[in-house]
Amino acid sequence: MTERATTEAGHQGLASRLMDTGALTSDWLPARRTVLRESFVPDVIWPGVGPADGGPVANIDRQTDPEGWFRAVCSDTSLTTQWDDGNHPGPGRGKVPTCSNSQPSMVFSMLAALDVQPDSKVLEVGTGTGWNAALLSERVGSENVTTIEFDPENAATARARLDAAGYNPVAVVGDGSQGWPACAPYDRVLITASLREIPADIIRQTRPGGIIVSPYATAYGGEAVVRLTIEEDGGASGPFVGSSAFMRLRQQRAYRTHVKEYLDGRPWPADGRRTTTSLSPEAVAGWLPMFAIGLQTQGMFPYPEQYDDGSYTLWLRDTEVTSWASVDFVPGAEEFEVYQSGPRELWGELRAAYTWWNGQGRPGFERFGLTVHPDGAPWAWLGSPEHPVPAVG
């Protein structure tokens, strides 16, 4: 098979898989055929690395392994392109992935949720490698697309790729959480980084009836894509449309205090109050239960400390550095040891949140939604805005 035939087969195979799963809709198929993913992927990539992945991951270099590189490009996986904000230039992985060419099924499912029209004015927050900006430019015209990137190096390489592919959107370097008022108002906003809060500036820059599509993560963990419609009063509301796992918007990154700060230098369990629980830490460990717990709790986050024998300690801490809890998981056990310290009983809060979710029939991501009121705090809901998710703690 010739190189060109191999290339076409790889693209057709990926497109067929995306169509079969429903991620790629027929209205986006022409843009996908025209805007080739490999035109927006650098030579060195780390396939399949997400924000929560650990362990060694080998890179693929197009110069030394062109076939492997192309197989990765034609796979439905994310391709990490930068570590540690560009401060890790070596061949291995760094500590934190900070830029990627996103998983194609996620790219096209979010574009489908965006529901662009032929003349939609679109803001993209997070240019990344430039692939999304090119797809949007092909669909609605470069003159209708504004894309903003915080990292100057990523912005420059994306601009070069867009120019080479024949697209000329407004591409700026700046703080994406502030939007880009010079080209506002927008009909559609696509955010390609995970948010803890929907920026008020972006809501204000979107027309009433306009749509914002963004990954939304809770402080506790878990994440899903939300599709918000802007209301006449300046608020926004809409459902979650599926699970996601994006890198956090730089302006909203969380920097956690080490557990030793909670113990005040004393050995564990310090002044922790001992109890036991029949609720296994395994039951609350999945992405969906973490999301449901996070929608109900405030300022609490987990960390699993793994041990060689398969056991682990689930640490819970609050962002105010006042309270902590530890739960020891032992394979095969029916009761688990719990220690809690501080004014908040964090394991009690987690258990209450999990119990509510379980009692509702363990609803999936798509059953939940989010409302952002222009003059108040956002609230999550189940089924409709009239049924808010209860707050715990």
Answer yes or no: 102 catalytic.
Answer: yes
CA proximity to 392, closest of 302, 315, 317, 298 = 298
Sign of CA dihedral 126, 133, 114, 51: negative
Only one residue has tokens 């470069």, namely 142
For 308, which DSSP code?
T
What does the chain come to in residues? 393
Closest CA to 368 of 229, 238, 209: 238
What H or E segment, with its residue span, contains residue 77? none
Distance of CA 381 to the CA centre of its chain: 20
Task: Report DSSP letters for 187-217, one per residue.
Answer: EEEEE-SBBSS--HHHHHTEEEEEEEEEEEE
Q: Which residues pair with 240 in a beta bridge?
A: 226
Helix (H, G, I), strand (E, B) or coil at 11: helix
Residue tagged active-site, from 102, 137, 177, 244 = 102
| Catalytically annotated residues | 102
